[in-house]
Structure 1
């Protein structure tokens, strides 16, 4: 018996489906985030093309994730949480994608460097620091202690607290998945033009 060769970290383990395989279900998946343009041209995102291997599950997940990322939580805080999760789990794809996305919310190189330091960086506002502390607590202990929860509850309403938990949980799961399949990053600036 011979050993299988090790997969280099940069090689995608499960390929995206070919254009010839785009069924109506796949086109529905592409349309969740990108509407008619996506249905006609395919997605700009490598992860959506990879999800097309299971279009029904992919569509339901993308609909859930779209609701989560357009909910009541402030977009800047949402992106800081996603960046911290991807940094903690060393998910290259998730990190690169959200560094690009976060720029539209005023998150530049200084904040990107501070995300890597974590909640102790002096750059953060109190709300940002609380979100990063909660993210670290959930990544480390899968729980938030009573004192931190009380501080979060004083800063955020019930819906925001629920979204915070789902953001950390969902993007932790995505970090594991995207890292495990070795999904390559795309250059969204090139894809958006």
Structure 2
């Protein structure tokens, strides 16, 4: 397993997150590793989604799935695209408690819909299409569902947080 950890460290050294443990875990299954790497590569690199909004979607799905590993990693990615502590904390709260703009609220509702029953409600879909082209809505759905799969795998495999990766957020002071 030491070889897998060293290989994982090399692969993730340019990332804003320290993802050694997930890389070492996925080294146990080349097929699963390729599926997740391919999916994450598209969502994180080849997608037309706006990075800040994409991270809000991923964080909400990580929270809904109670995947502390996913949430911790994407706090770091979120900060790298401009999310602050108050926004990251707000992702964990009911929509009514956040100060989200209309497009952000629609995306958060989309994630909640998908987590509840793997389907975006007609009302949420219509709301999303008021903010985004349908093709972009599909990409946000794809991002959410990709990270639902990743969250489930991380939880199932018991992947532990890497050194320096934050855990669940706490309410910001004065907020």
Do both share a fold (TM > 0.5)?
yes
In structure 1, the gaps of 5 or more residues are: 1-16
Deviation at 1:46, TM superposition (A): 1.6
Deviation at 1:44, TM superposition (A): 4.6
> Are 1:49 and 2:27 an aligned pair?
no
- Tell me how far apart the structure 1 counterparts of residues 27 and 143 of structure 2 sit (CA, whole Å): 23
> Are 1:144 and 2:128 an aligned pair?
no
Structure 1 residues 12-23: aligned runs within 5 Å? 17-19=1-3
> Are 1:167 and 2:151 an aligned pair?
no
- Tell me how far apart the structure 2 counterparts of residues 123 and 187 of structure 1 sit (CA, whole Å): 31
Alpha carbons 1:84, 1:118 under 8 Å: kept: no
- Tell me how far apart the structure 2 counterparts of residues 176 and 187 of structure 1 sit (CA, whole Å): 21
Alpha carbons 1:118, 1:132 under 8 Å: kept: no
Select the structure of larger CA radius of gyration. Answer: 1
Q: Which TM-score applies when normalising by structure 1?
A: 0.73
User: Cα distance 1:159–1:48, how it changes in 2: closer, same or farther (>3 A)?
Assistant: farther
> 1:135 aligns to what?
111
Number of residue pairs matched? 161
Over residues 65-105 of structure 1, what are the superposed CA-to-partner deviations in whole Å (9 max), with x where a residue is unaligned?
Answer: 21121210011111111111111111111111111221112
> Are 1:115 and 2:115 an aligned pair?
no
Structure 1 outlier segments of 4+, above 6 Å = none
Alpha carbons 2:61, 2:115 under 8 Å: kept: yes
User: Cα distance 1:179–1:122, how it changes in 2: closer, same or farther (>3 A)?
Assistant: closer
SS state at 2:161 partner: coil
SS state at 2:158 partner: coil
Structure 1 residues 79-94: aligned runs within 5 Å? 79-94=55-70
CA-atom RMSD, angstroms?
Answer: 2.5
SS state at 1:184 partner: coil
Deviation at 1:30, TM superposition (A): 8.0
Q: Which TM-score applies when normalising by structure 2?
A: 0.80
